[in-house]
């Protein structure tokens, strides 16, 4: 799905896909100081807002993360689909993003990791959350790992 083939509406000042799972998770996250239930219950979750590469509009996606020192890591798994998620393509086009974790919101720079560093950190996420190993097994692409570093 691309930015231009999804119906969008504004929720909490951010454009989100209408009537979708992500919109529900985003609303729950914001209403509960960053805590959500369902498939994300008990997992570390953040909201990542990117700028749509074709639309120029803010696009917010909920996702699990792994803390790594002063940065947060996110994984472009798309549940093992053969293509990367739209948010990943958006941050490649514009790496300046907004991150919401708990009650904090901050600007960050997104940098895809490569090589041994990417492999080590993806393996750690898969060790903690085995679903990530399943996602990698389902696809021939290497699932990207992106470091989010807070900007002053």
CB-based contact 124:69 (threshold 8 Å): no
CB count within 10 Å of CB 120 equals 11
* Predicted local confidence at residue 23, as pLDDT: 86
Phi-psi region at 19: left, alpha or beta (left = phi > 0; alpha = psi -120 to 50): left
pTM of the model: 0.86
Q: What is the mean pLDDT of each run of 10 residues along the chain (152 residues)?
A: 40 49 90 89 94 94 96 96 95 98 97 98 97 96 98 92
* Predicted local confidence at residue 5, as pLDDT: 39
What fold, for 3-150? Answer: Pnp Oxidase; Chain A (2.30.110)
Q: How wide is the angle at C-alpha 141 spanned by C-alphas 64 and 6, nearest 5°?
A: 60
Dihedral, CA atoms, 18, 24, 28, 15, nearest 10 degrees? Answer: -20
* Predicted local confidence at residue 20, as pLDDT: 79
* Predicted local confidence at residue 11, as pLDDT: 44
Backbone angles phi, psi at 121, to 5 degrees: -75, -35
Residue spans of the domains in the chain: they are: 3-150
CB-based contact 121:62 (threshold 8 Å): no
Q: Residue 24, SS3?
A: helix
* Predicted local confidence at residue 144, as pLDDT: 98
């Amino acid at each position: 799905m691309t930015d231009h083939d999804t119906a969008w509406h504004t929720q909490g000042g951010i454009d989100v896909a209408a009537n979708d799972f992500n919109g529900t998770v985003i609303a729950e996250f914001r209403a509960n100081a960053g805590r959500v239930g369902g498939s994300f219950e008990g997992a570390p979750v953040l909201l990542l807002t990117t700028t749509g590469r074709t639309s120029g509009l803010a696009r917010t996606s909920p996702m699990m993360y792994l803390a790594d020192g002063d940065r947060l890591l996110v994984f472009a798994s798309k549940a093992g689909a053969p293509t990367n998620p739209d948010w990943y393509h958006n941050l490649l086009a514009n790496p300046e993003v907004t991150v919401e974790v708990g009650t904090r919101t901050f600007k960050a720079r997104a940098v895809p990791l490569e090589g041994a560093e990417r492999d080590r950190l993806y393996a750690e996420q898969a060790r903690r959350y085995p679903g990530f190993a399943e996602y990698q097994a389902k696809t021939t692409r290497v699932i990207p790992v992106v470091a989010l570093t807070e900007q002053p």
